[in-house]
């Protein structure tokens, strides 16, 4: 499911790469803060970070979009 969401978002031009990078930076900080306090990793922060990073990778051609089955 996250990979499908990333593929859809990769082809949606309403969200710029800079916005995705800012969101990834924010989520990285949120995950690092939880880790430094020995708290559980917030699942949605981790999931969204993976979706946004995969979206950027697809846009940059560093990861291929999965075939639609």
Q: What are phi and psi of 41, to 5 degrees?
A: -70, 130
In tens, the pLDDT along 50-64 reads 999 999 999 999 865
In tens, the pLDDT along 6-35 reads 999 999 989 999 999 999 999 999 999 999
CA neighbor of 15 nearest in space, from 45, 59, 66: 59
pTM for the model: 0.82
């Amino acid at each position: 499911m996250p990979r499908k969401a990333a593929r859809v978002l990769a082809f949606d031009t309403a969200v710029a790469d800079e916005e995705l990078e800012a969101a990834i930076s924010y989520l990285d900080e949120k995950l690092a803060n939880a880790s430094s306090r020995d708290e559980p990793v917030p699942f949605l922060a981790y999931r969204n970070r993976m979706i946004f990073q995969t979206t950027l990778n697809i846009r940059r051609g560093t990861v291929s979009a999965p075939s639609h089955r």
